[in-house]
Amino acid sequence: MPKVHISLCFIIFLYLSSENFMRVDSQSQGDWCIANPVTDNDRLLKNIDFACSIIDCRIIMEGGSCYDPNTPLNHASVAMNLYYQAQGRHYWNCNFEGSGLITVIDPSELSNYVITLLCQS
Cα separation, 74 vs 114, in Å, equals: 8
Average pLDDT over residues 85-105: 95
Q: Is residue 121 part of a domain?
A: no
State the pLDDT confidence band at 93, using cuts at 50, 70 and 90: very high
Residue 108 three-state SS: helix
What is the maximum alpha-carbon separation in the chain? Answer: 43
Q: Is residue 16 part of a domain?
A: no
Q: Is residue 18 part of a domain?
A: no
Q: Say what the pLDDT of residue 6 is.
A: 44
Cα separation, 49 vs 53, in Å, equals: 6
The pTM of this model reads 0.69
The range of the structural domain enclosing residue 54 comes to 28-109
Instruction: Give me the number of domains the chain comprises.
Output: 1
Q: Is residue 116 part of a domain?
A: no
Q: Is residue 114 part of a domain?
A: no
Mean pLDDT (the chain) is 78
